[in-house]
Amino acid sequence: RVLSGVVDASAGSALLPPRRDWLALPQTPLLPIGSLRDQLTFPERRCPLSDQQLRQLLEQVGLGALSARHPNLNGQEDWRQILSGGEQQRLCIARLLLHQPRLALLDEATSATDPAAEQRLYGLLVQSGCALISVGHRPSLRRHHQRELQLDGRGGWQLLPIRG
């Protein structure tokens, strides 16, 4: 939430690339009340894609049924109340694919999805060419990354290659 600018940091600092070049996806997605189009384009308001292209994007991430249930992409809803945790996370992956940042920070971004959906979603992210930094507990995330940051719990760390 600090990196996304939603909450102010109490101390310290972070040096990040320009805001347009990265996107953070927290475990609990940020879904402001608004339209489905708003959810996809958040934090921006403009959208270069047509309704048909947005529906195709939803289909890619496994939310084709959502698009069918809500054909008006501009209808205002409280999506946190409508969508399951896994659907919320899929919606945020679609958001990331729409924005095409150079870097994505993913904090348990697929923890509410099943393993097959996680595989599919990470496959889409890898195909997008975006650099991924993931925080997660599932060992299955390792296959989508080249290096692993190991923390020793005493302030030390190592960046190690992941071997298949």
The per-residue pLDDT string of the chain (164 residues; one tens digit each, 9 = 90 and over) reads 677 666 787 888 777 788 889 998 988 888 989 999 999 998 887 777 889 999 999 999 999 999 889 999 999 999 999 999 999 999 999 999 999 999 999 999 999 999 999 999 999 999 999 999 999 989 999 999 999 999 999 999 999 999 86
pLDDT given at position 1:
67
3-state class of 160 per DSSP? Answer: strand
pLDDT given at position 60:
96
> Could you give the CA distance from residue 117 to residue 38 in angstroms, rounded to a whole number?
23
pLDDT given at position 4:
66
Q: Sheet containing 131-135: which strands, arranged edge to edge?
A: 22-25, 103-107, 131-135
Please, what sign has the CA dihedral across residues 63, 124, 76, 87? positive
Q: How far is CA 89 from CA 2, 61, 128, in A?
A: 19, 10, 17
Tell me the CB-side half-sphere exposure of residue 37, using CA atoms within 13 A: 15
Tell me if 154 sits within 8 A of 126, measured CB to CB: no
pLDDT given at position 164:
65
Rounded to two decimals, what is the model's pTM? 0.88
pLDDT given at position 67:
86
